[in-house]
Every structure is written in structure tokens, then in C-alpha cells.
Structure 1
Amino acid sequence: MSSPVHPTQPSRVRDLQWEVRSWVGARLWAQVLLGLLLGIVAGAALSPEAGWVSRSTAVSAGAWLAVPGRLFLAIIGMVLIPLVMVSIIKGMLGGGSMAQLKSVGLRLLVFVTLTTGIGAGLGVGLGQWIAPGAALAEADAFTPAQVAARPPTPDLPSLIVNLVPANPQAALAERDMLAIVVLSLFLGAAALVADRKKTAPFLGALDGLLEISMTLVKWAMYLAPWAVFGLLADVIARSGLGAVASLTSYVLTVLAGLLALMVFYLVVIALFARRHPLQFLKDIASVLLLAFSTSSSAAVIPLSIDTAVRQLHVPESVANFTIPLGATINMAGTALYQAVAVCFLAQMSGVVLSPESLATIVITLIVTSIGAPGTPGVGIVILSNIVAGFGIPTAGIALILGVDRLLDMFRTTVNVTGDLTVSVLLRGARKD
């Protein structure tokens, strides 16, 4: 005789499946996390270590798996410029006076300068203390004849003048985010003091453009879990899980520095914002997972703004101002990574950096990190210029390219945490 329990089992299984789907479907962070885990599994199956498929097949499969991710980034990139410009302008016009705007901007600049300096200084300190490149120095990969150590002398007056985009059309065409941010700041400041009656049509057009941009972003977010899955699978399929083996000391040094910087942000949140660090991390989990997967602080600007407003209760005017601006100039994680990389390449090449050179590195990284585009791989470009300026052979950069995407994920996560941290700290600034 059959047990009377059996007929109810399929129903219970279906109910459980429905509950799981409903729970995951209502939480973007859960979908992104699931995509991340499945992407690691799929990438590991295609990786060189597994040996289940040929190298060419793995690369081809990874390229196809990355299609949703590339589409996601393309859609975000399509609306990024209008979204950044409108968000900054509307943030500046969000009920504040010019005096309040100066207060917010000054505090943001102080925060960015201090944290970027801390990141660069921490990177130099760890790089010199752990000396991850010392073990490779014995390989004699570079000869002294290739070294002509000479600190760079950045032309600061020209740098300041060049901040103003003399050709806005070129800045838009070249997607120069720093120039676009500066242009938006000028437009917002002018609109703040201009006659509101005369600028009403312009402000109305901004509202419409923002609504359209956010609608496109909402459509793109449906691809986010698939984007995370595909991009991670593609990275692991190409480089393999063991790509970091030969550079373990370097990778661990960077990760230790980024972890310390993340802890610093959480301490700041606890001391100055009076928020529990774990609750803060829970509130921003979906943003951090997406930032980790896309390696782009610019790509998560819409989600960062939404999270700051809905989860962290930051006024919309403050979030619209600090998040896009922070994604462009707040690059403490990138500065830390570059500081460690410079020390690593110098040690590997036998170049001894004096205390004066190390101080110059910190200052240079503060200047160059501010305005670095929030897109994948830009850190390597900046690093090449810095290394060449100090007379360190740039050929060594080829050694760290294999792990750059992995480290890019972590430093982008730290950068985005910094953007959300300063937004929380400044959420009451409009009331000052």
C-alpha cells in the first residue's frame, strides 16, 4: 500500500521552489551573487587547469558567455554621459544655495584628497615593507642600463588649466569623464545663480532626460545577473584560476592593502555616520557585487545613486552630486594598487626608490588618480605613465597584466565603497 505522504511531496517541492524563486527574484544582490558563483564554476570548467576543452574553444566560449555583460556595459555606457551630467546639475540645484554647494564640494574634495593620500601612502608602505618584487630581482630580467631613475615633474599650472574643457564637443566625443564632470559643474553653478524663470525650460528638459536615462538603466539591470555570470566566466576561462600563482606575493600585498582601506571606510562609517558597519555592507551589497563583477565604478553609478537614496537615506540632491563626481575623482583603491605596483616593478628591476621619490609617488598618485576614468583597465594605462616617469622599465608591466583584471575587481569594489561612504557622511550637508 502506498504511503499517503507521497502525493504531497511534489507539491511541497513546488512550493519550496516557488518560495526560493520569489525570494531571489525580489533581491538583486541575491541574483548577482548567484550569477557570480555560477560564473566562477563555469569559468573553472573552461579554464586551462581543468583541461576539458582546448584553449581556443575556451576563449570562444568565454566570448559568447560575456555577451550579456558586454551588452550591459554598452547600454550603461550609452546613457552614462547624459546621466552623469544631469545628475550633477540636478544635484547642485537640489534646493541648496551656492554657500551650501561650496560646503558640500569642499568636504568632498577634502575627503577624496585625504583618502587617496591614505591609499597611496598605505600602498607605498606595504610595498616597501613586504617587498613583493624582491624575489624576482634575482632573475636579472632588466639590466641597470635600462634604468635612468628620474622623478616626474608634473606641470601643475597646466594641469589646473587643462581641467577646464575648452572644447566640450571633443570632451563628449572622447568620453573624457573628468572634462564632462567639470563641464557639468560649471553648468550647474551657472544654473544655480541664473534667473530660474528663464532657465525653467532647460531644467524641465533635464527632468525628462533623467527619466529617460533611468528607464534605460532599469532595462539594463535585467541583464545584471547574466552580465556578472558571463564576465566572470570569460575572465576565468581565459586566465585560469591559477593565473595568480607566480605573482602571489604581489597579489596578496595589494589585497591586504585594499582590505585595510575597506576597514578604514567601515571605521569612518561607524565613528562619524553612527551606522553599524555590517548593516552598511548589507545595504550596499548589490552595488559592491556588481562593481566587483564589472570592474567599473562608472557602470554602477545608477545603482549606487538608487542605493544611496533608498537604502542609506541620503538626500537625492546629495547622492546625485556625490556619486557621479566620486566615481570620477574618488579612486583611493586605484591609488593603493598603483603604489604597490610601482614598488613591485622597481624592486624587480633593481631600482632603489629614495624617500623623496616615494613621497613624489604618493603626490603623483593623488593627482593622477583624481580624474581617472571609472572603466576597466584604466589603472594599467596610468601605471605605465608613472613607471616610465620614474625610470623604471615598463616591460615589467607585462608580468602583472595577467592578474590586473582580478585586482581591478577588488579595487573597484573599494572605490565604490568610498563613494557611498562619502555620500553618507555628506547626507546632512544641505542642512548645514
Structure 2
Amino acid sequence: MPGINTKSNHVEQLHPRSLKQLSYHMRDLLRKRLWLQIMIGMALGILVGLILGPFGGLLEEQTAHVVGEWLSLPGYIFLRLLQMIVVPLIFASIIRGIASGSDREHLRKIGGRILVYFLFTTSTAILIGLGISLFIKPGLYISGELVQSTLGAPAVNVVNNQTVPEPTFGSVPMLIGDLVPKNPLDAMVSGQMLQVVIFSIIVGVALVSMVPMQAKPLLDLMGSIQEVCMTVVNWCMLIAPIAVFGLLATFTMKLGIDTLVGMALYVVTVLLGLFFLLCFYLLIVTFISRRNPISFLKDVREVMLLAFSTSSSAAVMPMSIKTADETVGVRPSVSHFVIPLGATVNMDGTALYQGVAAVFLAQVFGIELGFFEFVLIMITTVGASIGTPSTPGVGIVILATILGSVGIPTAGIALIIGVDRILDMSRTAVNVTGDLVACTVMDRWVGGKLSAEAELARESRRDFRRKKSGEDVLVDEVVESSE
């Protein structure tokens, strides 16, 4: 019979609700100017930290430490809540993003090309970070003795006498095989995000290969998980300004004014590197996506502000998808897959930051890095950034692995963690922008059977059907070939 789906391409019959429908959580934050509240909290945190710390001398050192820990309590809760929801949110969003694809061939094209694109942009970001840190040399303006006094103990290089295992050509197949999790729950608990992404893709592809009515219950469950996660994100944002205030106040009390002044050039170096990376994105938008870069920046400015406020690419995924679809003009079949995947795999701003931090700490401790060490930093950073959870502060954890691979004292992390809040927020804004740029590139390279306007119109019709039926995931017995 004409119009009946005689093929096993079940992905054309499954239509889960878009994650962008949950963007109303983010809209409220924009109206309340969360980014401005965050900035005020940062400024007040630094001021209070200076007054209560050694610089102001208002409190004794031991008392200031206790007060600082209590001030940090909202920040600890804020970070933990976001870290708690990122794995289930990414897991559910990738699965439903795959189910939102137009057809298998379309998914195969996007999947193959987006991974190559992500590797290219991540490598470029690291090169930018290494280049600008070698040019400015921010580590030469702060002494190793100052670091030791800040840490309260000699900064011992704990990895100098350890042998870092080097991958060989024969071990590559086993390393690749280890990317497939033998225990998915263990990968989720331990935060092995690359394994979680691979497991999510496998489950998503399996679902769209099944009979649609059998896949529907699990897709409905994934939709409920997304709703729960975004509700928790909304709760997190209620305490975000207080959390930032407390964390910065504590870090300022511990570091003191002298160390903060010495770190200023490091902060400028990272921010300048992120600016160059943003310019690189705009070049891609101009010459590959064939779009006006100024108009693109205007279209994504609200998402960038939200990413800056939340420090989490995963938290702003609904707003990112809505912006890609309705403002930038990307096909939903592209954005629904690329945005959730990019929130974990495409961490260019984080990769750049880690490259700058590694070179900075090497300069502080007077460690000479040769060609092999720079190559090792690049390889380790690419691998680490691809599997980095999209939550605040996780870049610091990944940095410890990178430093250890080239013999840089990991104790130096205590120096840069004090200024990490502003850098974390800035690199998250760049990460999210990179995901939206990737959407425009894939939209041009891969395209789709329908135009962006036609896909949005089809989504509107499906949303109308959802309101009438009350169902989250629609299942068509007949492929909508006429659309």
C-alpha cells in the first residue's frame, strides 16, 4: 500500500517531544538576570574574602577557615546537585536525540562527520591555548616559593619518580575496546562520560531498530528523566549567586591578595585564549556555514549568558536546542542529536584552559617542556576533554591527569583553583557556542530531506497532537512522506 512504511526504518515512526520544550526553566532565569546576580555575588565574595582573610585581618586564621567553610556550603550543594544530574540528563538526551532523527542514513552521516569535526576543533583549541601561554608566559610572573607558601607545604612533585605508561601500537585495539563499558552502571557512577556517551548511542540505535510500540515506554521514561533533571537544575539556579559568593569568599581568604594579583596575568591569558577560540568559531560560521558572524552572535547571546551563569553545558541544553531551531535556523533533526552529544564530547573551551594551565604551572615550577611533552599534553587533553562531564569545576579534576602525564606537580592545582570560578563560567559559554557552531556546520554539510522551516512546521503539528493525546512520544503507523 502506498505510504505504509514497509522498511525497518523505525526511526521515522518515533517522535519524542523535543528537549527544548523544557526551556521555560531557562527563560525565567533570563528574565531575572541571573548572570548579573552571579557577577554581583562574585564581586562581593572577593571583597568579603579580602576583609575576613589575612589581608583585612578581621578574623584569626583558624576562625577565618571555619567561617569560610560555612560560607562555601551553598557552593558545595550547588556543585553536587549539578554533578548529580548531568549523567542521567546526558544519557536520556542522547537517546531521545537519536530517536528524533529523520532516518538512519541521516543519523549515520551526522554521527561520522560530527566526531571528525569535534576532534578538529578540540585540537585547534589546545594549540591556541599552548601557543598563547608560550607567548605570554604567565608563569614567569609568579614564584614557586609563593606557591609553596600558599600551599603551606613544599610542592612535591609526586609523579617524578613514577613511570607514566605510554600507549603502544599493539595496545591500541585494547584501548579502543575498553571504550565500550562492560558495566554501564559502573561507568555512570564513576563519571566515565565517554563510556556513558557510547552506551547511550548503542541504546538509542537499538531503540530505533525495534518495533516502535516496544521502544515507546523507554523513550517515555527518558522524557520523565529529562523533566526531573531540569527541575533540579532550576532549584540549583536559585542558590547560584549565593553559591558563587561563598566559594569565591573562601578561595580569596585562603589565597590572599598577593597571590591573586600574581594570578591576574594567568586569568588574562586564559580569557584571551577563549577570545581567540571564539574568533575561530566565527571564521567557521562565516566561511563554512556561510552565515553572518555578527548576526550569529546576536542570536546566541542569551544562551551564552545562561551558560556563563550556570557553568554547565548540560544545564542549558533545552535553551541551546531552542535557540538552534528557532533563532539560528538549524534543522531540528540536526540540533536534537548534536547538542546533547556536544555537551559532553565538544569541550573546546575546557581543552584550551587545560593547555594553558599545564604550561602555566610548568613555568611556575621551572619545568622545561619539550616537544614530546607538548604532544603528550595534546593527546591527553583531547582524550580527557572528550570524556569530560559538563558540570562546574570538573575541568580541575581532569587537569590533574594531564599534569601527572608530563611530570608537573599536581599540588599546583591549589594555586589556580581560586580563580577557576570566573574561568569555568567563561569557558562554558565558549563550549556552548561551539556546540551551536557545530549545529550550523552539520546543517550545511548533512542537511536533510526537509528544510528547517518544514521540519519546524512538522514539529508544531506534532506538538498539537501531543496536547490532544497527552502522549510524550508519538508513534506513527504511516510514515509522513507527504510532509
TM-score by length of 1: 0.80
CA distance in 2: counterparts of 1:78 and 1:344, whole angstroms: 31
Gap regions ≥5 residues in structure 1: 1-23
Per the alignment, residue 226 of structure 1 pairs with 238
Instruction: Give the C-alpha shift of residue 167 in structure 1.
Output: 0.8
Query: What secondary structure sits across from 2:138 in the alignment?
Result: coil
Give 2:139's aligned residue.
133
SS of residue matched to 2:50: coil
**Deviation at residue 77 of structure 1 after TM alignment:** 5.5
Asked if structure 2 preserves the Cα contact closer than 8 Å seen for 1:127 and 1:340, the reply is: yes
Would you say 1:202 and 2:210 are equivalent positions? no
Shifted more, 173-182 versus 234-243: the winner is 234-243
Alignment of 1:162-311 (within 5 A): 162-192=178-208, 194-196=209-211, 199-207=212-220, 209-210=222-223, 212-216=224-228, 219-220=231-232, 223=235, 226-240=238-252, 244-311=260-327
2:429 pairs with 1:413: yes
Alpha-carbon shift at residue 343 of structure 1 (Å): 1.3
Counterpart contact for 2:192–2:387, Cα < 8 Å: no
CA shift for structure 1 position 165: 0.9
Of 440, 460, 470, 1:424 maps to 440
Q: Give 3-state SS (helix, strand or coil) of 1:258's partner.
A: helix
**Separation in 1 of the partners of 2:420 and 2:302?**
23
Are the counterparts in 2 of residues 46 and 58 from structure 1 also a CA contact under 8 Å? no
Change (3 A) 1:285 1:57: farther
Q: Identity across aligned pairs (percent)?
A: 38
Query: Is 1:105 aligned to 2:111, yes or no?
Result: yes
What are the within-5 Å matches in structure 2 for residues 9-408 of structure 1? Answer: 28=30, 31-44=33-46, 46-49=48-51, 55=64, 59=68, 62-63=71-72, 66=75, 70=78, 74=81, 80-136=86-142, 139=145, 147=160, 153-154=166-167, 156-192=172-208, 194-196=209-211, 199-207=212-220, 209-210=222-223, 212-216=224-228, 219-220=231-232, 223=235, 226-240=238-252, 244-408=260-424
The code of the aligned residue for 1:108 comes to: I
Q: Is the 8 A contact 2:285 2:437 kept in 1?
A: yes
Q: CA deviation at 1:63?
A: 4.1
**Could you tell me whether the CA contact under 8 Å between 1:33 and 1:289 is conserved in 2?**
yes
Distance 1:82 1:341, change over 3 A: closer
Query: Relative to 1, partners in 2 of residues 1:251 and 1:149: Cα closer, same or farther, differing over 3 Å?
Result: farther
Query: How many pairs were matched up?
Result: 402
Q: State the distance in 1 between where 2:420 and 2:165 align.
A: 24
Indicate the SS of the match to 1:426. Answer: helix
The offset of 1:375, in angstroms, is: 1.9
AA partner of residue 70 (structure 1): F
Q: Quick one: which amino acid aligns to residue 431 of structure 1?
A: G
Q: Deviations over 1:38-60 (max 9, x none)?
A: 42454355332485975468636
* 1:45–1:52 Cα contact (<8 Å) kept: no
- Residue 104 (structure 1) shift: 0.5
Q: Give CA deviations for 1:261-319 in whole Å, capped at 9, x if unaligned.
A: 11211222233333333333333333322322332222322332333233323333322
Equivalent-residue separation in structure 2 for 1:146 and 1:41 (angstroms): 37
In structure 2, runs of 5+ residues without a counterpart are 1-25, 149-154, 450-483
- Is contact 1:314–1:424 with CA below 8 Å preserved after alignment? yes
Change (3 A) 1:359 1:209: closer
Contact (CA 8 Å) 2:98, 2:205: kept in 1 or not?
A: yes
Q: Aligned in 2, Cα 1:60/1:148: closer, same or farther, shift over 3 Å?
A: closer
Q: Decide which moves more: 331-340 or 57-66.
A: 57-66
Per the TM alignment, residue 408 of structure 1 is displaced from its structure 2 partner at its CA by 1.6
Superposition RMSD in Å? 3.4
Looking at structure 2, the residues matched to 178 and 232 of structure 1 have their Cα atoms a distance apart, in angstroms, of: 29
Aligned 8 A contact 1:94 1:317 in 2? yes
Q: 1:278 to 1:171 in 2, by over 3 A?
A: same
Distance 1:131 1:52, change over 3 A: closer
Asked whether the equivalents of residues 327 and 419 of structure 1 are also in contact (C-alpha less than 8 Å), the reply is: yes
Deviates more, 1:153-162 or 1:123-132: 153-162
Taking structure 2 as the reference length, what is the TM-score of the superposition?
Answer: 0.72
